[in-house]
Amino acid sequence: MLLLRWSGQARGEEDCMVGDVNLFLTDTEDPTLGEIEIMIAEPSYRGRGFGKEATLMMMSYGVTDLGITKFEAKIGRENEASICMFKKLHFKEVAVNSVFQEVTLRLDVSDEEKRWLLDQTSHVEKKTYSEPK
């Protein structure tokens, strides 16, 4: 899990949390599959590029550090913004669950996709939790 922290005007640690992005390794038989979830919980921080940036960062971490080769995202059918965002990140719709009113989007990380992903996140610097104060 990565908590998204905005250091603009907020004071305390919790004041500046705007959302989170999670990567779950849900398939015990296939550790190369990652299920990704993103939420910009603070509405005033939506539509400002944070969701896309955080998702790309988590995917890049998954590919380079965890050996993930495919991602899935399960999203409520009514959640157009999220579906739209994942499609922009090259995910394709692979299933619709009418019981849960949910669509599954998937990305298989080919060599070309991996190059694209690493290129999108080439400006990102990795630090340990205690460093970025």
Ligand X SMILES: CC(C)(COP(=O)(O)OP(=O)(O)OC[C@H]1O[C@@H](n2cnc3c(N)ncnc32)[C@H](O)[C@@H]1OP(=O)(O)O)[C@@H](O)C(=O)NCCC(=O)NCCS
Footprint of ligand X on this chain (CB under 6 A)? 37-40, 46-52, 75, 79-82, 84-85, 88
Q: Cβ closer to ligand X: 80 or 108? A: 80
Annotate 56-80 with three-state secondary structure: HHHHHHHHHHCCCCEEEEEEECCCH
Q: Cβ closer to ligand X: 85 or 109? A: 85
Residue whose C-beta lies closest to ligand X: 51
∠ Cα 83 89 93 (to 5°) = 45
b/e sequence 55-82, b meaning 16+ C-beta within 10 Å: bbbbbbbbbeeeebbbbbbebeeeeeeb
Give the burial class of 117: count Cβ atoms within 10 A of its Cβ; 0-12 exposed, 13-18 middle, 19 or more buried: buried
Smallest gap from residue 104 Cβ to ligand X (A): 11
Smallest gap from residue 78 Cβ to ligand X (A): 9
Smallest gap from residue 22 Cβ to ligand X (A): 9
Q: Cβ closer to ligand X: 8 or 128? A: 8
Q: Cβ closer to ligand X: 99 or 111? A: 99
Smallest gap from residue 75 Cβ to ligand X (A): 5
